[in-house]
Structure 1
Amino acid sequence: MIQASGLHKSYGETVALDGVDLHVREGEIYGVLGRSGAGKSTLLRCVNLLERPGRGTVTVAGQELTALRSGELNHARRRIGMIHQHFALLSSRTVAANVAFPLEVMGVARAERERRVAELLDLVGLGGRGGDRPHQLSGGQKQRVGIARALAGDPAVLLSDEATSALDPATTRSILDLLKRLNAELGLTILLITHEMNVVKSVCDSVAIMAGGRIEESGSIAGLIRTPGSRLTREIFPLPEPAPAGSVTLTFTGDPQRPVVSEVVREFDVEVSILGGSIEDLAGGAVGRLRVALTGEAAPALAYLRERGLLVEVAR
């Protein structure tokens, strides 16, 4: 659904994007994670060409945006909705008028605008609040208005630029739940920018980790969890570093209640000391990471764990 290839973008001597490739599949929620200055917001603005890359191509829904002229590009952008960090609502307009604004620009007739606005406000949980002004709303409600406005043009792709960073934890969860529901019910492809690992853990199917204008790691959450040395896994499950030489880190998905340690102790002549670990509920299910020290004949025990689908990493 979104394909960016070889994106470069500089501001004077500052390189914001340095050869970025990005592939977002149709219908998935894809997170771009990184600290401030990593280049993630520039990448997002290049996806809808609010910023034009110095080099590279951007294709959305099968249409190469970087090859379009101004008028064609404006029409293509109707297929891309945008949620802003600080809501970007017009204080002089009511909630309903804010949601209607893109429909007015598109020339939609008044009766159809009113029908569509009412439908969207119901969808985001603000039915009956169309006559309110933005100052009468909480932060979470303002962001719901922003989401309704982003959906006004019936987009195929929704871009979210740090949409929850200005919200408290409980409101953040409610907005993320709304995005998950919209993804499921409308088949929306969602590309979201965030510096919060909890956002990635809660809703994302895939992720790219950015630093210094480059993507350091990307792929599905499930695939990266099973990849030796994955930075994502280390950040989701922080364990003391460096790992003691000879210690073993086990990463497992599926049933977190499975007694893998006791199985190994029963089946093999080893003793197991637990050095640390945790279990997290990710969007795709429960994942655990456990660091242990094995005493005795460890090789057969480790082979046994690998055969049962665990990722086994031995510290050198």
Structure 2
Amino acid sequence: MGLRKVYRVKRREVLALDGVDLHVRQGEIFGVVGQSGAGKSTLLRCVNLLERPTAGSVAVDGEELTALGGARLRAARRGIGMVHQHFALLSSRTVAANVAFPLEIAGIARAERRRRVGELLDLVGLADKAGAYPAQLSGGQKQRVGIARALASRPKVLLSDEATSALDPATTASILELLRDLNRELGLTILLITHEMDVIKRICDSAAIMESGAFTESGRVLDLLATPGSLLARSLFPLPGTGLPDDTVALTYTRAYDEPLMSELTRRFDVDVNVLGGAVEEVSGVSVGRLNVQISGANRDAALDYLSGKGLLVEVAGR
């Protein structure tokens, strides 16, 4: 909470984190999205104390890491797994040996290491690659090895540092599906950083937008989608652009409606409704719809109020 991180670079101070408050609920996937230089990686490294914050505190699973040091901190870190952008595999070790590496460091007996490695490779779908070397694997397979290794010590929290940014779209989708499956099957809490809004849309329960070392907004993704003026909502579902009529209205809804709302508008308020386009997408496991409509007539404002009262997010282009 209140994380602040200042670096000294050539006799000047660079503020990387500026009072960041982050709360990730147990068992959820929380995404932090932002451009390069926003402070995302610094935040992640402060969470597992690879970087010590200049000010503020870090608590994971009820234990304040910033109050620990030495052996106690190393023990606490074993409850936090880390997945890297560029895999960070040891090229001279086989897949099985890479996954076993943290278990060796922890002093786990060989028989138990072998059993655990087999379990993990089966979990990530690489049981047949145990004897292969990293150079023989595709990018997606390398990342699966990295995920298996991160889970070796049975962490309760998994940190993902741009885990899909080096992958093609199809492989990205498979890795995100794996992370969601692990979250559900193991009750794993996942904190991921990304610069891709599609990652937030596909698997995150909650999210934050980060700029210049601070959160500009954060919350549950579905709540943000229903919040007027939300930057996240506008990034996931951009408002109508140029070329559309000035009276275009964007309607966002996060649940199905049994009643024919557009027909009801024309009957109740004597307005003309012209549907210009729309789409339904899966966001955080829920179908979210965006409809662009043109509504005209003397009772237009009353019609918009009616839609808002039905739980739709109503945004008028140009406002």
Task: Specify the TM-score bucket, using the shorter chain as the normaliser.
Answer: over 0.9
Aligned match of 2:262: 261
Measure, in 2, the Cα distance between the counterparts of 1:84 and 1:135.
17
Q: Report if aligned partners of 1:237, 1:278 keep a CA contact under 8 Å in 2.
A: no
Aligned match of 1:6: 2
Tell me the CA shift for residue 193 of structure 1. 0.6
Measure, in 2, the Cα distance between the counterparts of 1:179 and 1:93.
24
Cα pair distance change 1:216/1:244, threshold 3 Å: farther
Cα pair distance change 1:312/1:79, threshold 3 Å: same
Cα pair distance change 1:257/1:100, threshold 3 Å: farther
Pairing 1:279–2:275 present: no
Matches within 5 A, 1:129-208: 129-208=129-208
Opposite residue 150 of structure 2, the aligned amino acid is: A
Aligned match of 2:211: 211
Q: Report if aligned partners of 2:240, 2:248 keep a CA contact under 8 Å in 1.
A: no
Tell me the CA shift for residue 311 of structure 1. 1.8
Aligned match of 2:311: 309
Measure, in 1, the Cα distance between the counterparts of 2:170 and 2:259.
31
Q: Report if aligned partners of 2:120, 2:148 keep a CA contact under 8 Å in 1.
A: yes
Aligned match of 2:22: 22
Range that drifts further, 126-135 or 187-196: 126-135
Measure, in 1, the Cα distance between the counterparts of 2:178 and 2:258.
30
Range that drifts further, 267-276 or 15-24: 267-276
Opposite residue 148 of structure 2, the aligned amino acid is: A
Tell me the CA shift for residue 307 of structure 1. 2.6
Cα pair distance change 1:207/1:274, threshold 3 Å: same
Tell me the CA shift for residue 156 of structure 1. 0.2
Tell me the CA shift for residue 10 of structure 1. 1.6
Tell me the CA shift for residue 59 of structure 1. 0.2
Measure, in 2, the Cα distance between the counterparts of 1:131 and 1:256.
53
Opposite residue 306 of structure 1, the aligned amino acid is: S
Tell me the CA shift for residue 266 of structure 1. 2.9
Opposite residue 124 of structure 2, the aligned amino acid is: V
Tell me the CA shift for residue 99 of structure 1. 0.3
Aligned match of 2:253: 252
Aligned match of 2:230: 230
Aligned match of 1:113: 113
Please state whether the residue corresponding to 1:104 is helix, strand or coil. Answer: helix
Measure, in 2, the Cα distance between the counterparts of 1:124 and 1:264.
50
Instruction: Structure 1: state its 5+ residue gaps.
Output: none
Measure, in 2, the Cα distance between the counterparts of 1:232 and 1:291.
18
Range that drifts further, 273-282 or 22-31: 273-282
Q: Report if aligned partners of 1:265, 1:272 keep a CA contact under 8 Å in 2.
A: yes
Please state whether the residue corresponding to 2:295 is helix, strand or coil. Answer: strand
Matches within 5 A, 1:91-110: 91-110=91-110
Tell me the CA shift for residue 276 of structure 1. 5.4
Percent pairwise identity: 66
Measure, in 2, the Cα distance between the counterparts of 1:35 and 1:53.
21
Aligned match of 1:54: 54
Range that drifts further, 261-270 or 118-127: 261-270
Measure, in 1, the Cα distance between the counterparts of 2:209 and 2:95.
35
Q: Report if aligned partners of 1:31, 1:204 keep a CA contact under 8 Å in 2.
A: yes
Range that drifts further, 152-161 or 234-243: 234-243
Q: Report if aligned partners of 1:256, 1:279 keep a CA contact under 8 Å in 2.
A: no
Tell me the CA shift for residue 295 of structure 1. 1.8
Q: Report if aligned partners of 2:282, 2:288 keep a CA contact under 8 Å in 1.
A: yes
Q: How many residues align?
A: 312
Opposite residue 237 of structure 1, the aligned amino acid is: F
Q: Report if aligned partners of 1:9, 1:17 keep a CA contact under 8 Å in 2.
A: yes
Measure, in 2, the Cα distance between the counterparts of 1:245 and 1:108.
66
Tell me the CA shift for residue 194 of structure 1. 0.4
Tell me the CA shift for residue 299 of structure 1. 3.2
Q: Report if aligned partners of 1:208, 1:217 keep a CA contact under 8 Å in 2.
A: yes
Aligned match of 2:34: 34
Instruction: Structure 2: state its 5+ residue gaps.
Output: none
Matches within 5 A, 1:82-93: 82-93=82-93
Measure, in 2, the Cα distance between the counterparts of 1:55 and 1:184.
34
Tell me the CA shift for residue 239 of structure 1. 2.4
Tell me the CA shift for residue 274 of structure 1. 4.1
Q: Report if aligned partners of 1:239, 1:276 keep a CA contact under 8 Å in 2.
A: no
Measure, in 1, the Cα distance between the counterparts of 2:283 and 2:54.
36
Please state whether the residue corresponding to 1:222 is helix, strand or coil. Answer: helix
Tell me the CA shift for residue 129 of structure 1. 1.4
Tell me the CA shift for residue 248 of structure 1. 3.3
